[in-house]
Amino acid sequence: MSPTVIARHVFLFACIAFAVLLIAAGWVLRDQVYRTFQDPGVPFQTYTPPPGADYADEAGWYVREGFSDEDEPAVFFVHPTTYSGGANWNGQLDKPRSVEMVTSVMLPNYAAPFANSGALFAPRYRQASLYAFMNNREDSVRARLFAYGDIQRAFDAFTQQIGDSRPIILAGYGQGGLDVLGLLIDRVAGDEALTARLVAAYVIESPVPLDLFTGPLQSLPPCTTPEAVRCVYGFSSAMPSEEGRLHILTERAMSWAPEGGLDFVDGRGLLCVNPLLSAVSNDYASARQHRGGVAAEGLDGDVVPAPIPAQTGAQCADGVLFFEQPRSRALHRPHRLVEDYRLPPFNLFYEDIRFDVTRRSFNLAAILQDERQWAPPLDAPEAIEDAPVIPIPDGRRY
């Protein structure tokens, strides 16, 4: 073989080896490459957000249902992140792919268990992009707070539209859970009338620091038992093998701080309500206690999916809900980029949560009925001063 041919073979081999190394490096660093392409590339301070929603108008809501009677609960549901990023820090309300994800995946899987117990209200909002949760830059934090501003306005409109006596349920997943937790601090905890009407607040797949319950959430304790109402139900879940997700949930994630604003959750302790036990507990719950997961992607709101029961056991440890790999492949996480930051296109605890909110709604209805029979509280006692004795004039003296 001539030296020229050998040189060509060596060059070809080197090119193939280099291409293989590039592909391998791209695979190993695929999440970092993905993040690079999702960066808006403009500081939030100079960024112009997309137009917002008018919550007085039906177009401001994905769902705004009517009520069947005056005692039916109203459900305020905030969907998780569906906008990846790229052009904007905060998603447009009419971004086709994001809207499709909400309507075909998030509402059927995550809102439906709550809609079973009341009329569903699900606002459109300028959600912070997934990229804004993949780092803790100041720009990313600003994007999250901007999205929360939309949710505050939506909730204010919600309370006006439902009246002042109807029971309420708050629920949010992921980014939506962070926003619902903010509403509890800013809108609910300091309002005795609103707190009295609260079935429960469900803050799911967003860490809830325990120091909030000795600070701004003193009037809204965790749901320590299955029967409790006017309480906070929350968990963030992972399998023991998901080291990246565990690192995010317990160290890199941010949540509301007792003194206001966002701060890291590391070292603050986290709320964990085991959905198989409907209580704060470190006990292990076996798969026999699992009421069922659902993969409801693409189902219409009026279609009731069939739960797949006995799929996983679960146990709270160090503030995280650890679960086992479900038996059905329909309930296995897909292999997507930055999957540790996403919610899967199914709800592993669908039926457990549906049963929980139904029971707590029934319990609050009974409590409210009983409280309405009580006499109104007496006003504070007033001190009464003795009146001076004035003698009656003797008419005979005149």
pLDDT at residue 37 is higher than 80: no
Range 262-286 average pLDDT: 98
pLDDT in tens, 325-342: 999 999 999 999 999 999
pLDDT of residue 395: 53
Lowest mean pLDDT among 182-186, 201-205, 374-378: 374-378
Task: Pull the structure tokens for residue 46.
Answer: 């100079």
CB 78 within 8 A of CB 180: yes
Range 366-390 average pLDDT: 71
CB 210 within 8 A of CB 305: no
Furthest CA-CA distance within the chain? 153
Q: Which residues contact 149 (CB under 8 A, 6 or more apart)?
A: none
* pLDDT bracket for residue 162 (50, 70, 90): very high
pLDDT in tens, 206-257: 999 999 999 999 999 999 999 999 999 999 999 999 999 999 999 999 999 9
C-alpha torsion 96→207→291→200, nearest 10:
-90
pLDDT at residue 77 is higher than 70: yes
Paired with 122 in beta bridges are: 63
Q: Is 36 helix (H, G, I), strand (E, B) or coil?
A: helix
pLDDT of residue 253: 97
pLDDT in tens, 369-380: 988 887 566 666
CB 250 within 8 A of CB 265: yes
Task: Pull the structure tokens for residue 122.
Answer: 């699900």
* pLDDT bracket for residue 166 (50, 70, 90): very high
CB 367 within 8 A of CB 129: no
339: Cα within 13 Å, side-chain hemisphere: 11
Distance CA 280, CA 284 (A): 12
* pLDDT bracket for residue 6 (50, 70, 90): low
pLDDT at residue 20 is higher than 90: no
CB 167 within 8 A of CB 364: yes
Task: Pull the structure tokens for residue 363.
Answer: 């319990």
Paired with 323 in beta bridges are: 314
Distance CA 93, CA 32 (A): 27
Which regions of 33-80 does DSSP assign to beta strands (E)? 61-64, 74-78
Distance CA 332, CA 293 (A): 11
CB 101 within 8 A of CB 82: yes
Count of CB atoms situated within 10 Å of the CB of 354? 22
Q: Is 123 helix (H, G, I), strand (E, B) or coil?
A: strand
pLDDT of residue 25: 36
Q: How large a percentage of the chain has pLDDT more than 90?
A: 79
* pLDDT bracket for residue 158 (50, 70, 90): very high
pLDDT of residue 383: 66
pLDDT in tens, 305-326: 899 999 999 999 999 999 999 9
CB 111 within 8 A of CB 79: yes
pLDDT at residue 390 is higher than 90: no
* pLDDT bracket for residue 34 (50, 70, 90): confident
C-alpha torsion 349→355→360→361, nearest 10:
120
